[in-house]
């Protein structure tokens, strides 16, 4: 493990495969700490509270905002998401490397707040058409929500140059391998 913990940030438009990539990275590097974001959105059938997200109501989320409990928080696709501050501060203090899968807004806030302690990776879909196909194929959003996610994806992809690295997820195994190489190169763990 590195002497100086870092935040390893993975961001991607919805449907790019970020969750799948992060699960593979955690399996390959089980000593990484995974930061579980809080959200006010509804839990999907395949998700588990505390593993995928911490699902909370709006009042609980706002109380945590008021108490300064988030390292960052944002409204994404009409729901609130936040990164718990205590996990980040404690992990960095102990020299641990923390893996975060967060939206672009949150990533940029963390990159600014923890300057010099982040390794940021933007995961890209192979094409806009493939992204649209993946979003439709997962069947978790109605057509209006998918449209909103695709519109947001354009804005998110416009900010990819703010990341240290960009990786196209057209082959899951290759994308994961490229990230593992980056972790070993830039963030020895």
Please tell me the distance from the alpha carbon of residue 96 to that of residue 1, in angstroms, as a whole number.
Answer: 7
Residue 14 confidence (pLDDT): 85
Mean pLDDT of the chain: 91
**Closest alpha carbon to 85 in 10, 35, 30:** 35
Any domain includes 47: yes
Any domain includes 2: no
Any domain includes 1: no
Tokens representing 148? 């909103």
Cα distances from 26 to residues 11, 23, 68, 168, 183, in angstroms, run 15, 5, 28, 19, 12
* Model confidence pTM above 0.85: yes
Tell me which residue has tokens 């972790």: 183
C-alpha angle 165-171-175 in degrees, rounded to nearest 5: 30
Give residue-wise pLDDT tens across range 99-109.
999 999 999 99
Residue 2 confidence (pLDDT): 44
Q: How confident is the model at residue 132 (pLDDT cuts 50, 70, 90)?
A: confident
**Closest alpha carbon to 14 in 126, 112, 152:** 152
Give residue-wise pLDDT tens across range 45-82.
889 999 999 999 999 999 999 999 999 999 988 899 99
Residue range 40-48: mean pLDDT, rounded:
92
Any domain includes 163: yes
Any domain includes 161: yes
State yes or no: pLDDT of 159 exceeds 80: yes
**H-helix segments, the chain:** 18-28, 58-66, 85-93, 104-113, 128-138, 143-157, 172-186
Any domain includes 189: no
Residue 186 confidence (pLDDT): 60
Instruction: Find the CATH number of the domain harbouring 20.
Output: 3.40.50.300
State yes or no: pLDDT of 188 exceeds 70: no
Residue 11 confidence (pLDDT): 95
Total Cβ atoms within 10 A of residue 27 = 9
Residue range 121-126: mean pLDDT, rounded:
95
Residue 83 in contact with residue 37, Cβ under 8 Å? yes
Give residue-wise pLDDT tens across range 16-33.
989 899 999 999 999 999
Any domain includes 12: yes
Total domains in the fold of the chain: 1
Residue 3 confidence (pLDDT): 56
Q: How confident is the model at residue 1 (pLDDT cuts 50, 70, 90)?
A: very low
Domain holding 82, by residue range, is: 7-184
DSSP state of 36: P
Cα distances from 105 to residues 64, 68, 86, in angstroms, run 18, 18, 20
């Amino acid at each position: 493990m590195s002497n100086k913990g870092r935040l390893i940030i993975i961001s991607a438009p919805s449907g790019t495969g970020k969750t799948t990539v992060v699960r593979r990275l955690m399996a390959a590097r089980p000593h990484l700490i995974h930061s579980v974001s809080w959200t006010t959105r509804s839990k999907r059938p395949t998700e588990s509270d505390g593993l995928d997200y911490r699902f909370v109501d709006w009042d609980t989320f706002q109380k945590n905002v008021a108490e300064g409990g988030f390292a960052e928080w944002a409204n994404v696709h009409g729901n609130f998401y936040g990164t718990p501050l205590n996990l980040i501060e404690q992990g960095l203090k102990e020299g641990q490397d923390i893996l975060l899968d967060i939206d672009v807004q949150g990533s940029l806030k963390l990159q600014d707040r923890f300057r010099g302690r982040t390794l940021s990776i933007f995961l890209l879909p192979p094409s806009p058409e493939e992204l649209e196909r993946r979003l439709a194929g997962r069947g978790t959003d109605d057509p209006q929500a998918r449209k909103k996610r695709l519109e947001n994806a354009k804005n998110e992809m416009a900010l990819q140059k703010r990341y240290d690295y960009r990786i196209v997820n057209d082959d899951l195994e290759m994308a994961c391998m490229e990230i593992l190489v980056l972790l070993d190169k830039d963030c020895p763990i």
